[in-house]
Amino acid sequence: MRMIEKIRQYFKKKNLSTRNNRKKVGIILFATSIGLFFLFVARLSYIVVVGDVAGESLETQTKNLYQGSEVVKAKRGTIYDRNGEAIAEDATSYSLYAVLSKAYTNGDEKLYAEEKNFDKLAEIISDAVGDVDKKETLQVLKEGSQENQYQVDIPNAKSISLQQREKIENAMDEQNIAGLYFTEHPSRIYPNGVFSSHFIGYADVQNDEETDQESLVGRMGIEEDYNDVLKGKDGKIIYQKDNYQNPLPGTVAESQSAVDGKDIYTTLDNRLQSSLEILMDQAWKDIDAQDLTAVLMDAKSGEIVSMSQRPTFNPETKKGINDDDFVWSNLFVEDNYEPGSTMKTMTVASAIDNGAFDPEETYKPGETKLADATIRDWDYERGSKPSLTMRQALSWSSNVGMVKLEQRMKDSWQRSLQEFGFGRSTHSGLSGEKSGTLPEDNVVSHAMTAFGQAIGVTQFQMLQAFSSISNDGAMLKPQVIDKIVDETNDDEIVNQPEVVGHPISEKAAKDVRKYMRDTVESEEYGTAYDQYKVPNEHVSAKTGTAQISQDGSYLQGDYLYSVVLMTPSEDPQYVMYLTMNQPEQEDTEVLPSIANPLLERAMDLNEVDESEDNQETSSERVRVEDYRNLEADAAASDVQKKGLTPVVIGDGNKVVQQSVDNGERLMSSEKLLLLTNDKTPMMPDVSGWSKADLVKLGDLLDVDVSFEGEGYCVEQSVEPYAEISDNKLHFDLEED
């Protein structure tokens, strides 16, 4: 009890009664509340004034909540041939996915893929996209459903065309089922397929890690070299969002316009390039070689009108890129090689100007000693000619004769090599271009350059040097870009022929062209007698057979075969250069099988083009309008008024697709194909159509096309005005 009493006395002394304790607690709570209030007011005032919470801007967060933004994609520039035919252009592709979540509805409407419809959906996809296997699709749908996945991607359905998408959507509408949806991607199409592919290159979709935006980026050729010119600049739009993050109607405001990429017109001629690709395909099947190249240049301007190499690839499907023998290099500028005897044309031209060449002078061919080396003619082992004139030394391709000329010219020949442009880049604008190599500073190497050994060159350097012979002494830079057009600013940059030197005189050029005719016209002294010919024209030619240099020595039995051709000899319109590298066995018919038909076609087209120019036919390009959703008759009438040739496909009343996009330009009288909403379109009569127009028809109908022959259509697999029921069309072509 005493202890309890002591405790009471203690609390009494300290005035710690229940009432007093309540008063103290109340005072503490009141003071705390006042403190918290003023702290809250201070913090709120700070937030209102500064607008920042934990480093996050309230204004920014509010904008993010109620304001959305969207990237406006810039159109990548189109790559054209010299006549305005598209070689590479933008398109849209789609990837396909199926939503499986049963929560994906709109009221009572089921928007997901129901399990009972899986078989129908797989059938629809398989019918529309040939690369998609129905069983595989069905398995993906079932597994996704069993695992309660929200959605699944459809295998092998990553690059679906607009036509395929529409076919899938229409089939779902007809069967009243849902569940399939599409993601849009930018893509690049190459309507001509294999078409100077190493030169044009290709563009692939790339994901920006920061913005997560897809864009096309050049990976090779012009697509890569001119990527900054082609790509354009994306724009941006700003819009207001509601509480559910949906755009509010009428609140979209464009804050930054997209700037489309510039268009590039190459110097290639679609008509000649298409012919060359067919000829190269045929020749490549007949030989087993490391590589094969062919290039045709306008002798008056230096413009490359066709250029192709093998092996090659399809830039759209990428077929060929993964082959074991595929070469990534553009062989025309990136391959540094010893040219062989085609160099002798430059040797003779320089010797003429240096007074070292007498066409009637005779000498004994076979072999000659020079320092510690013995230089032999190609026919030494089987018995050389007993004697040759210096003129015959060129057509018979005598190394000994060329060394004699080089020895007389002394240092002048080494200077001539530099004047011809060897040892430095042609500045073509193509990436990876080599500068070549001049010979080592010794008497043997100097002499060997006279017949094309001990020197490294590129094909563009050879073309540049050949141009001085074809163009009466004026050397032209090889051109691959005709012009760059900025449609946005209505501006264009046009490349003009560029004379880069005069290494030889007019007389020397004309004399060499005359002596080169012996190569194909002299039965006894021409190394290519009767092999190269163009109807009604003389051809100047020089063949070459060069040993392959590797690791400081020459390979035994491996050669680079080549030929340069100029026609007509008197006043060349074209220069053609072909090479065949290390074939299993020499075939003298391979290079002529490419050169002869292409040169004949080039001369025929040159005649037609000149005739049209003389008739003052309008060369103005006609801008194509958007005829989609217009009545077919009205659209055709408008196309006709604009100077184009309309071709209406199907009996539908409205146009749904057209062969050339809105805003692009066609030459006067060119065909514009208009596809109507007829579900069973009829095959038009395509007699006389060019390959380019037939390719456009295939693209428009979404069918595969194949060809036999070259030139213009003379027979079609589906008769005119018959229903197009197959997904393949075949055309036989013949020269006009």
Which residues carry out catalysis? 341
What burial letters (b/e) apply to 465-490, b meaning 16+ CB within 10 Å?
A: bbbbbbbbbbbbbbbbbbbbbbbeee
What are 98's strand-pairing partners?
152, 180
Distance of CA 70 to the CA centre of its chain: 29
Report the number of secondary-structure helices (H) and strands (E) in the chain.
Answer: 22, 35
In terms of Cα–Cα distance, which of 609, 512, 578, 712 is closest to 297?
Answer: 578
Return the amino acid letter for 591: L
Sequence-separated (6 or more) residues with CB below 8 Å from residue 374: 367, 368
Return the amino acid letter for 735: E
> Which long-range contacts (C-beta less than 8 Å, at least 24 apart) are formed by 326-329?
327/291, 328/220, 329/198, 329/432
What are 584's strand-pairing partners?
none
Neighbouring CB atoms inside 10 A of 696's CB total 23
Sequence-separated (6 or more) residues with CB below 8 Å from residue 246: none
Return the amino acid letter for 205: V
E strand or H helix at 326, and its extent?
none
Question: DSSP alpha helices (H): ranges in 359-410?
Answer: 390-395, 399-409
In terms of Cα–Cα distance, which of 334, 106, 64, 308 is closest to 194?
Answer: 308
What distance in Å separates the CA atoms of residue 293 and residue 439, rounded to the nearest whole number? Answer: 25
